[in-house]
Structure 1
Amino acid sequence: MNEIKVHKERDVFQSQTKELEERWRCLHKQYENNTNNLTRMVKERDELLAKMKTEMESIEETGNERKNQIMKMLKEISNVREKLDLQIGRSMQLEAELTRVKSINAQLESGIQEMTKQSLTNAQTSAAEIRALQEEKHLAHNNHQLEINLMKKDLNQLSNENTEFKKEISRLQNKISELKVSVI
């Protein structure tokens, strides 16, 4: 009877051992599957991180290039502004010169008219002297008119250049705005 009991216990023990071994095999297989899955996931994560790092470097490089482009354009705008300021200054000088010449021309006209009146009223003045004064008046008037016309031409040219500079500034500002939008 003791022997049967021992056999029974041995059978129960063997049965439990088999169950434990089977359970161990299942757990081991599950562990290997989990390990493989984790290894695959870590590899995918590492690949994704490497890809993201490459993309970040590319984005950073693009950002730096855009920043450099914007800085270059800002420098160009600054240069254009300086040139425009110089042109505006020159234009103002020409306007002042034109005003001065007009004033001188008016004074000369007034003086010439006065001289002509005096010449006409002076009985001792000969017709040749009168013609000479009129020619002098006409020549002075033509010379001053020529100067005025040249200054007007210069003023128009500067005005056209100012317009072109304003268009260029506007174009560059639009381009900067586009670059700022694309950087954002």
Structure 2
Amino acid sequence: MQQRLIRTLDILFSAIGLILGAPVLLLITILGYFDTGSPIFRQERVGQDKKPFILVKFRTMKVDTASVASHLASTSSITRLGGFLRKTKLDELPQLWNVLKGEMSLVGPRPNLFNQEELIAARDKLGVYLVRPGVTGLAQVNDIDMSTPQLLARTDALMIKELTIGKYFTYILQTVVGRGAGDRARK
């Protein structure tokens, strides 16, 4: 019952977000063309049941940046617009499309890359891949990123176990008001 309600809320909020956010999405896309020439970033990620899906975000790094986890990328790869988008978390807005399609939830474990083997093993062991990945969650609002795979997997498993409708709204609200730094790039 709770899973169905969360999915309904995901559909409702992502549809509203895409409709009301259309002017912002359009503006960032236009600015992104001037920034990198390729404003939309697409990357294969690990989804529910370890099925691959294509995550969509606004590009925050130079086009030729290696396809690695953010904490392994250099901060020198982050563009000026990208720094602003990361700080404000506006780079995440296109993921509302992933949520609407059912590939993600607004709240869940952040989707990782297939080459993050230590994280995959830790999450697999704790059943994290039984749920849809999310745009935000307990780890994100507490500044736990993919650079600490064991801690991240434990935090994700705890969030999944204790997720209620109230906590769903709490994680979203905390993200909107700026709690958590998101995935960090190395200096």
**TM-score category by the smaller chain?**
under 0.3
Q: Which has the higher contact order (CA 8 A, sep 6+)?
A: 1
Q: Normalising by structure 2, what TM-score?
A: 0.21
The structure where strand makes up a greater share of residues is 2
Q: Normalising by structure 1, what TM-score?
A: 0.21
The structure whose Rg is larger is 1
